[in-house]
Chain A
C-alpha cells in the first residue's frame, strides 16, 4: 500500500526542494547577472540587484579573445575524448560484464583507484611524455589525456549498465549465429543505449568543465574554454564583469546541452537502481 502523504508535508517538501534548488543555482545566476553589469557595478557594495544592463563586458570579451577558437577546442577535446573513450570502454565493459574472470573485480577496483590519486601526482611525468612526443598544447594530446582520465568512470558506468542486461539475450544472439561484433552492434548497444547516452553526456560535461589538465598542458593552440575564463583573471586585477561574461559564455553550450538532455541523464544515472 502506498504511504499517504499529507498536503502539509507535500508543501513542506516542495518548499524545501525549491529553496535548495535556488541556493544551488544562485551563484550561476549571480554570475550571469554580473556579466550584464559595468565593472564598477560588479564590485559595488552593497551588491546591485537592480541596474541598467549592458553588453559592454560581452563586447570586450569577444574583442579581446577569439571565443570561437576556444569553443572549437572544447568541442573537439571533450567530444573527441568521450567518443574515443567509448570505443575503448564498450568492449572492455562487455568483457567484464559478460565474460568475467576471478580478477575482474580487482581490475575494476584498480581502475577506480587511479581516480583517487591527486592528478598533480602524475602531472610531471605526463607533461614530459607529451613533450617527448611533441603533443604539448595540441588537440590530439589533450584528447588522449582526457580520454585516459575519464576512462575508468566510463568503464564503470557502462559495466553497471551492461550488468543489467540478461546474459541469456546475448547467448540467444550467439545461438542465432551472431559473431561477437554483430552481438555488440545489433543486440548489446541498442539495449544499453540509455546507459551509453547518459555516460556520453556525463563525460562530455566532465571533459568540458575539466580545468587542471587543460590549464597545465595547453597554452594557446589547444586552449579550451577553461583557459578562456582564466585569461580574464589577470595580474592587473580582477575584472569581475568580464570574468562573469566569459564564464557565462563558457558554460552556455554545455548548460543548453544539459538542459535538453536532463531527462536522459537522470534516467541513465538511476538505471538499475529500482528493478
Chain B
C-alpha cells in the first residue's frame, strides 16, 4: 500500500513561508511528478513527506496513519537523492544491505535480497566495489537498489537524474518507468525537467511559490492548463503569448498559442517578422521570429523547412488551438 494524503501542509523556515498550504491525495501505485521552477518548494514538499523536515502545520497521512510527527524510519518510505548519497566507505553490497541491516534482518535473508536486487539492476559484477569506483549511472542504480531492497510503501525521488549526461538520463528514465510498472509501488518524483515529468508521470503536480497550480495527467496539463503559469510552464518550447488587440479579438485579456500550433509562411500570415534565431534540429526546426509589433514568437516546424537567420517570414497561430486567459491569469 502507498496511499499518501497531504492535508493543509504548511512549512516555514523562520519567518519565510515556503509552502503556504498544500492538499494532495496520491493514490496507491501512482507515479506522481512534482514539477516547477527552481525554488518553488517541490524538494521541500518531498522532504516533508519523507520526514526529513518537520511540518509547521497540517498533516501527512500514509495508508490512513497520521505520520506527521513520525521519524523518517517509521514512515516506510525509500528515497533516492540527487547526489545518490551512497555510503562511500561501504561496498555496493553493504550499501544495498544497509536498510535491511538496520531493520534487523538475518544475514542469509539479507544476502538473498541483495543478490536479487543486484541482479535486477545489473550490478552483480560490482557488488564488492566501493561507490568511488563506479560510473554515475551505476551509482544511481545502487541508490535505486538500496531503495527497492526493503520493499517500501512508496519511493521518493529527488531529481535523481540531474547529475547524469543526456543519453544516460534517457536510459535511466526508461528504467525507472519500467521499475514502476514492475513493482506497482507509489512513486513521487521531483524534477525541473518537464520532459521527464510528461513522459514518466501518471499525474503531475505543478508547483509555484509553494502552491499547487494544477494536479492532473500530463495531457490534461498540456491541453487544459488552468492558468497562464501552467500553460507557460508545460510544453517545450514554451507557449507564446500575445495581449492587446490580438487578445481582444478572442475576447480575452491575453492569448496563448504553442509553437507547434503555428504556421510559418514566406508570403502571407498574421504577423510579419524577421527570423532572429533558426534552430535546425533535424526532425524539427525552431524559429524565433521577431515581429514588428507583437513581440518575439517561437515556432516549431518540420525539419525540412528552409528558412534561416535574417529571413522575413509571416507567422500565424492555429485559431482552434488558442488558449484564452483573463486579467487574473486564469484560463477562460
Q: Give the B-binding residues of A (Cβ under 8 A).
A: 166, 168-169, 171-179, 182, 186-187, 190-191
Task: Report the minimal beta-carbon distance from B185 to chain A, rounded to whole angstroms.
Answer: 15
B326 within 8 Å of A by Cβ?
Answer: no
A173 pairs with B81, CB closer than 8 A: no
Docked-complex contact A171 and B99, CB < 8 angstroms: no
Residues in B whose Cβ lies below 8 Å from that of A174: 51-52, 71-73
Tell which of B77, B86, B87 touches A175, judged by Cβ atoms closer than 8 Å.
Answer: B77
Report whether B83 and A176 are in contact in the complex, using a CB–CB cutoff of 8 Å.
Answer: no
For A172, the chain B residues whose CB sits under 8 A away are 79, 81, 85-87, 146
- The smallest beta-carbon distance between A24 and chain B, in angstroms, is 36
Q: Using Cβ atoms and an 8 Å threshold, which residues of chain A touch B102?
A: 173, 176-178, 182
Would you call B50 and A176 a contact (CB within 8 A)?
A: no
Q: How many residues on the B side are at the interface (Cβ–Cβ under 8 A)?
A: 23
The answer, among A166, A176, A190, for a CB contact under 8 Å with B98, is A176
**Is B83 a contact of A177 with CB atoms below 8 Å?**
no
Q: Mark B59-101, 1 if CB is under 8 A from A, else 0.
A: 0000000000001110001110111011111000000001100
- In the assembly, what is the distance between CA of A179 and CA of B102, in Å? 8
Given the complex, which residues of B lie within 8 Å of A173, measured CB to CB? 87, 98, 102
Set B81, B86, B87, B103: member contacting A177, Cβ < 8 A: B103
B293 to chain A, nearest CB (A): 50
Q: Which of A169, A177, A178, A182 contacts B85 (CB 8 A)?
A: A169
B77: which A residues are within 8 A, CB to CB? Answer: 175
Measured in the bound complex, the distance between the Cα atoms of B276 and A44 in whole Å is 92
Q: How far is the CA of A134 from the CA of B82 in the complex (A)?
A: 57
Q: Tell me which residues across on chain A come within 8 A of B79, comparing CB atoms.
A: 171-172, 175
Residues from chain B with a CB closer than 8 A to the CB of A169 are 85-88
Contact B81 A191 (CB under 8 A): no
For the complex with contacts A176-B146, A182-B102, 14 further pairs of A-B residues with Cβ separation under 8 Å are A166-B83, A166-B85, A169-B85, A171-B52, A172-B146, A174-B52, A175-B50, A175-B78, A175-B79, A176-B99, A177-B150, A178-B102, A179-B71, A191-B87
* B72 cross-chain contacts in A, Cβ below 8 A: 171, 174-175
Kindly name the residue among A169, A172, A182, A186 whose own CB sees the greatest number of chain B CB atoms within 10 A.
A172
> How close is B314's CB to chain A, nearest CB, in angstroms?
52
**Cα(A191)–Cα(B71), bound, Å:** 23
Contact B83 A168 (CB under 8 A): yes
Taking CB atoms, residues of chain A closer than 8 Å to B81 are: 168, 171-172
Closest 3 CB pairs of A and B: A177-B102, A172-B85, A176-B99
Whether B73 lies near A191 (C-beta < 8 A) is no
Chain B residues, Cβ within 8 Å of A182: 102
